[in-house]
Amino acid sequence: MPEITPALLDEIRARFAHVDACPFQGPRVFFENAGGALTLNSVVDTSSKFAAIPDNQGRDNPAAHALVAVIDKAKADMAKFMNASSGQFFCGESGTELLFRMIRTACVNAPKGSKVIGSSIEHPASRSAARRWAEIAGLDYVNVQHDDANGTVDVAAYEALLTPDVAVATILHTSPVTGMGVDVEGIAAAIRRVAPEAVIIVDGIQHAAHGRIDIASYGIDGYAISPYKVFSRHGFGIGWISDRFSTMPHDQLIGAADTVWEFGTRDTGAYATMSDVVDYFDWLGGEVSDATDRRARIVAAGAAIHAHEKRLTDAMIHGTGNLKGLKDMDRVTLIGGVENPAREGLVSIVVDGVPSPDVVTYLNDRGIRTHTRKADHYSGNVLDPLGYADAIRVSLCHYNSEHEVAHFLAALDDMP
């Protein structure tokens, strides 16, 4: 099993900006990765380099040729990173915008009276798009209720509601509220068995930082990520679409090639940072395995990331050293249960008798950054059925350490 050793963890942390101190607050433990992961130093350098270049792509001059080559390389790198053997990558405004665009396109091309299926576990980015565009396009929306107890949705729940007239399906890869992953491959296969032609769109935004994306194995048509949640930066989203989805009628300039999905001039520097992200996974895979092939190293990195994050969430839940874990703190309830194999680097808790914003403030005052999820339009789908007004989200990444977990547990256990 590939492993992140303490020495390797030091090397990993050296590659990220603001690892243990916030420029606004000072020293802090960063457990707000689901709100935006740390940024690679290489991404910071690349961004500033390209920000200074005035040239546009698509001209016949050396700068334009170089910019196009950078974008082509980034697309090839992302294909390795996400194991996409066909289809295409493109940039948009954000992950949300790309999900809307993909879902809108699938809905307006669906036969009148057909169905859109999705799950209550999804982030409102895909939920809102699917409900809105189903209505506009005259389609029925079918809701697959997630399981409140384990914080995820399974194949059987989709299977129970699948019919041959499903034309569009949405799947969340990992929940940013419960932290639980979803069996995308299994659900997509179940959809294809009943509705082979359905356009299947996946929200991979919360999953991406945890590695292990394998588009070729999923049998899907669309996948969206937000680069700032996978060690790049804010300001853009990345979408992947299958070949058949690429040519489906969509918003574009009249006369442009029918596969073009991008809106206007792209930020070459944004694309270039995705090559930095893939280079990082490649480097990490080389540190934790003997693999020589780039994709094999990326896979090894994903396995090491998952193992390290599981070690950290286990320490958080069960305790570390002589510190009590969350499951043994009297006032604390874990959302999604104690033993949950679907967990991906995130623990959401409720502290009995203390409003979550007060817990988050208390932790912030002790240099530990977490986040309140309120039962609002972002998280109400998960928190309302559980009867919680809010919860505290503690979200980790593979660059976090057991020492940081210990700091958090000690502070929480001390809370008056």
Ligand X SMILES: Cc1ncc(COP(=O)(O)O)c(C=O)c1O
Which residues of this protein are in contact with ligand X, per CB under 6 A? 94-96, 123, 125, 172, 176, 203, 205-206, 226
Report in angstroms how near the CB of residue 276 gets to ligand X at its nearest: 19
Beta strand residue intervals within 246-389, DSSP E: 319-320, 323-324, 332-334, 346-351, 368-369, 371-374
Tokens of 66: 């170089």
Name beta bridge partners: 241.
88, 222
Tokens of 114: 């057909």
Of the pair 88, 226, the CB lying nearest ligand X is at 226
Cβ contacts of residue 89 below 8 Å, gap of 6+?
A: 74, 75, 78, 79, 238, 239, 240
Report in angstroms how near the CB of residue 309 gets to ligand X at its nearest: 16
- Dihedrals phi, psi of 224, to nearest 5 degrees: -120, 140
Report in angstroms how near the CB of residue 250 gets to ligand X at its nearest: 19
Report in angstroms how near the CB of residue 228 gets to ligand X at its nearest: 7
Assess contact for 13 and 21: CB atoms under 8 A: no
CA pair distance 333, 62, nearest whole angstrom: 59
Report in angstroms how near the CB of residue 223 gets to ligand X at its nearest: 12
Of the pair 320, 395, the CB lying nearest ligand X is at 395
Of the pair 88, 94, the CB lying nearest ligand X is at 94
Of the pair 28, 371, the CB lying nearest ligand X is at 371
Q: Which residue reads 């914080």 in tokens?
A: 151
Report in angstroms how near the CB of residue 206 gets to ligand X at its nearest: 4
Of the pair 329, 335, the CB lying nearest ligand X is at 335
Q: How many CB atoms lie within 10 A of CB 216?
A: 13
3-state secondary structure of 118: strand
Of the pair 87, 239, the CB lying nearest ligand X is at 239
3-state secondary structure of 386: helix
For residue 295, what are the CA distances in angstroms to 4, 194, 207, 222, 313?
19, 32, 18, 21, 27
Report in angstroms how near the CB of residue 203 gets to ligand X at its nearest: 5
Of the pair 205, 406, the CB lying nearest ligand X is at 205
Of the pair 215, 412, the CB lying nearest ligand X is at 215
Q: Which residue reads 């030091």 in tokens?
A: 10
Of the pair 125, 349, the CB lying nearest ligand X is at 125
- Dihedrals phi, psi of 299, to nearest 5 degrees: -65, -40
Report in angstroms how near the CB of residue 127 gets to ligand X at its nearest: 10
Beta strand residue intervals within 57-176, DSSP E: 88-92, 115-119, 140-144, 166-172
Assess contact for 401 and 29: CB atoms under 8 A: no
Would you tell me the crossing angle of helices 41-51 and 268-288 to the nearest 10 degrees?
160
Of the pair 203, 276, the CB lying nearest ligand X is at 203
Cβ contacts of residue 319 below 8 Å, gap of 6+?
A: 325, 328, 409
